[in-house]
Chain A
Amino acid sequence: MRMSRNDKDFIVKALQEEIRIDGRHPLESRKVSIAFGQNNDSASIIMGSTRVVTVVVPSLESPVPDRPKEGTLRFNVEPSPMAAPDFEGGRPTEQAMELIRLLEQTLRNSRAVDREALCIQAGRKVWHLDINVTILEHGGNLTDACLLSAVAALMVFRRPDVEAAGGDSEAGGGRISLLSPAVREPLPLSLHQLPLSATFGIFGEGESVVLDPKLREEAAAAGTMTIIINTNSDICAIKKTCGIGTPVLQMHRLTQLAGERAGELMQTLKAALQRHEASMVSMRVRRHASAPQQPLGALPHSVTLLPPADVTDVAQSWQPDCAMKTDETSSSGAAEDSEQEDSLSTGEGVPETCEAGGAEQSSTIAASLQDTQQGTLATKSPQVMHSKAAREHHDRPANPKRIAIGVEKKKEADIPDFLEDGDDLKEDLLHMRRALLSKEKRSYM
């Protein structure tokens, strides 16, 4: 990235007074947001304005001849041309090669991923994982982002379980069948260690360092050093291959800082994984319509943004024609029930709670969309619903779903937490919610 001399001088001078151009402390890093894909095969990392996505693609291959009992991993780093003006498609640049080498070194050569566990039939078939890292936006510190996203993807990745039918492997027998997720839970990878990195930009004569440099800081820096530490507090790798010389003592100091940073990152990563697990479970619950209703306490609050598809599914299931004696109908029944009881107040109640929710940043979009759907449907065909509701009103318990939604509203369920305040997407979501609510309000009038 080309920078004017003024810019560079400004950054360096500000650093002498321990001020960074985005207001951070020199050893403060940007907030990291981690999101996982629905299919448990991808992880998306956002660090400030750097966005990286990693997708893990499994396939069955024959093993490398000199390692017949090990699975294989291949890493690829793709700097997308939309990430930065100087990224072009075509041959991988020196920078991309360096990142690939780093990933290979820390995740493959260091045996972080247990490759022997990926063996299905020794000498014949093993799992081959293609780990594709795509850089969507280059906002500085690609090293940390790429490694973190690769590690996150590997942690969330679930591979299908296999069954090797009996038979003589030498004779070429022994068919391998992949078991679908419905039959058997996909398995996670066996990871011995989780390496996480901290990159420092070096300024001046090598004395002043900043943690997690932004793009402009990187361009103005005299050098960079990356330290990769794993969960056992062992140093996996150190890379200082460019830029100005630093005293060796500096390295030791940075190692300590890197350890702290790695600890923080690991906590964030684990928390994100837990939330993802929970949301996956809750999604599966909603998907399986015939599944029995879970007791109240077990329903977790959902934080992930439900894709629009789910909402339409739910909406369709509420068509008055498909008389499903399911909890959804009962929930819709209960909903209109209350609507019937106090249509206007509910109408207002919903936005009220939503406003209140908005004030305390609670109430998922999903919940609010469900509410509005219920509301709209109720007003569309109140007569039909009414009879049904009347019928089912007595023998049905208070709709746990409805209460659960209330629970959801009151809980600290946030708008997806990878959105920062002032972020465009968050504004859009809030706006959308308001628009839907106002539309629903109008339909009552």
Chain B
Amino acid sequence: MEFVTPEGLRRDGRRPKELRQLKCEVGVFPHADGSATFNIGNTQVIATVFGPRVADSRGESSTDRAIVKCAYSESHFAAGSRRQRKGRGDRRTAELASTVRKALEETILVELFPKAQIDLGIQVLQADGSVLAACINAAMLAVADAGIPMRDMIAATTVGYLESTPLLDINHTERTGNGPELLLALHVNQDKAIIITEEGAVNPETLEGMAELAEQGCKAVGKFLRQSLLEHIQRHATVRGLTVK
């Protein structure tokens, strides 16, 4: 299967450095403290946040910071074929939940809420590559919606490498090429990488190229997220009659 044509077009018509279409909505569930949906191409993820609230179990809570918990679940219809096993509880989903949790734990100012607990819930509706990156982005939007203070905006993208070309934001078809994959979650304003995971053998020079592309991708996603959040605030502030300076 050819992934990049000689003219430099990918299978879905994108250029190697192009992101898929981004779409998001903030505040979709009024009952949750914060919620958001995030779509990148065909990948759709919903995130909800409850908290900060009093920790459920005294033993787990920490006296100087809030604990962050993440529950991750993939719908049965998320992947191409109906999943036979449960979409949660197995090792792979546990690792994904753990990664999202750690990314947000590093981003939220947890020291401001001692003995509290922040619950993240992630539901993957459609998985078409870059799922973990989408989860992190959705979670960030939900946390912003909940009014929980954060160190910086976190944005994540995945970069693949097939046929000697680094490809930004790989989709499911491109994943089947079994090339190396790099996930980068970045604090966009401070330029600090929070999560770096790379899978598949790649030589260091190629990795440098992929990392640079990932950084650019994260910044682009960060810009989009910022824009969406500002629009959301604008809309609501107007309704409430609050003046905007």
Direct contact of A and B (CB under 8 A): yes
Find chain B residues with CB under 8 A from A101 CB.
91-92, 95
Q: How far is the CB of B179 from chain A (nearest CB, A)?
A: 12
Question: In the complex, what residue of chain A is closest to B102 when comparing beta carbons?
Answer: A242
A233-258 to B contact mask, C-beta < 8 Å, 1/0: 11111111111111110111001100
Q: Is A110 an interface residue (CB 8 A)?
A: yes
Q: Which residue from B98, B187, B190, B214 sits with its C-beta under 8 Å from A241?
A: B98
The answer to whether A241 and B99 have CB atoms under 8 Å apart is yes
Q: How far is the CB of B46 from chain A (nearest CB, A)?
A: 23
The answer to whether B201 and A251 have CB atoms under 8 Å apart is no
Cross-chain pair count, CB within 8 angstroms: 97
The answer to whether B204 and A240 have CB atoms under 8 Å apart is no
Interface size class of A (residues with CB under 8 A): 35 or more
Find chain A residues with CB under 8 A from B211 CB.
248, 251-252
A421-443 at interface with B (beta carbon < 8 Å): none
The answer to whether B94 and A94 have CB atoms under 8 Å apart is yes
The answer to whether A233 and B207 have CB atoms under 8 Å apart is no
State in angstroms the CA–CA spacing of A247 and B188 once bound together. Answer: 11
Q: How far is the CB of A8 from chain B (nearest CB, A)?
A: 13
Q: Which residue from A206, A238, A242, A243 sits with its C-beta under 8 Å from B198?
A: A238
Beyond A193-B201, A235-B204, A237-B198, whether A245 also contacts B187 by CB under 8 A is yes
Q: Is A97 an interface residue (CB 8 A)?
A: yes
Find chain A residues with CB under 8 A from B191 CB.
247-248
State in angstroms the CA–CA spacing of A369 and B187 once bound together. Answer: 64
Find chain B residues with CB under 8 A from A238 CB.
182, 196-198, 207
Find chain B residues with CB under 8 A from A239 CB.
196-198
Question: In the complex, what residue of chain B is closest to A258 when comparing beta carbons?
Answer: B204
State in angstroms the CA–CA spacing of A159 and B231 once bound together. Answer: 64
Q: Is A98 an interface residue (CB 8 A)?
A: yes
Find chain B residues with CB under 8 A from A221 CB.
none
B97-139 at interface with A (beta carbon < 8 Å): 98-99, 102-103, 106
Find chain A residues with CB under 8 A from B145 CB.
none
Q: How far is the CB of B166 from chain A (nearest CB, A)?
A: 14
Q: Is A225 an interface residue (CB 8 A)?
A: yes
Question: In the complex, what residue of chain B is closest to A102 when comparing beta carbons?
Answer: B95
The answer to whether A234 and B202 have CB atoms under 8 Å apart is yes
Interface size class of B (residues with CB under 8 A): 20 to 34
Q: Is A100 an interface residue (CB 8 A)?
A: yes
Q: How far is the CB of B13 from chain A (nearest CB, A)?
A: 29
Question: In the complex, what residue of chain A is closest to B197 when comparing beta carbons?
Answer: A239
Q: Which residue from B193, B198, B200, B208 sits with its C-beta under 8 Å from A245?
A: B193
Q: Which residue from A233, A241, A252 sits with its C-beta under 8 Å from B197?
A: A241
Q: Is A105 an interface residue (CB 8 A)?
A: yes
Q: Is A230 an interface residue (CB 8 A)?
A: yes
Beyond A94-B94, A251-B196, whether A245 also contacts B201 by CB under 8 A is no
State in angstroms the CA–CA spacing of A268 and B194 once bound together. Answer: 33
Q: Which of B190, B193, B197 has the most CB of A within 10 A?
A: B193
State in angstroms the CA–CA spacing of A245 and B194 once bound together. Answer: 4
Q: Which residue from A100, A109, A230, A241 sits with its C-beta under 8 Å from B91?
A: A100
Question: In the complex, what residue of chain A is closest to B218 when comparing beta carbons?
Answer: A248
Q: Which residue from B184, B199, B200 sits with its C-beta under 8 Å from A248?
A: B184
Beyond A230-B201, A235-B203, A240-B197, whether A98 also contacts B190 by CB under 8 A is no
State in angstroms the CA–CA spacing of A109 and B182 once bound together. Answer: 16
State in angstroms the CA–CA spacing of A241 and B195 once bound together. Answer: 5
Beyond A110-B201, A235-B207, A252-B211, whether A206 also contacts B192 by CB under 8 A is yes
Q: Which residue from B196, B200, B207, B208 sits with its C-beta under 8 Å from A110?
A: B200
Find chain B residues with CB under 8 A from A241 CB.
98-99, 102-103, 195, 197
Find chain A residues with CB under 8 A from B201 CB.
110, 193, 230, 232, 234-236
Q: What are 20 of the A-B contact pairs (CB < 8 Å)? A: A98-B95, A101-B95, A105-B199, A110-B200, A206-B192, A230-B201, A235-B207, A237-B198, A240-B193, A240-B194, A241-B98, A241-B99, A244-B194, A245-B190, A245-B193, A248-B193, A248-B214, A251-B211, A255-B207, A259-B204
Contacts A97-B95, A248-B186, A248-B211 aside, 19 further interface pairs with beta carbons under 8 A come to: A97-B94, A97-B98, A193-B201, A233-B203, A235-B201, A235-B204, A238-B182, A241-B195, A242-B106, A245-B186, A245-B193, A245-B194, A246-B192, A247-B192, A248-B191, A248-B196, A250-B193, A252-B204, A255-B204
User: Closest 7 CB pairs between A and B?
Assistant: A245-B192, A238-B198, A240-B196, A234-B201, A245-B194, A242-B102, A248-B193
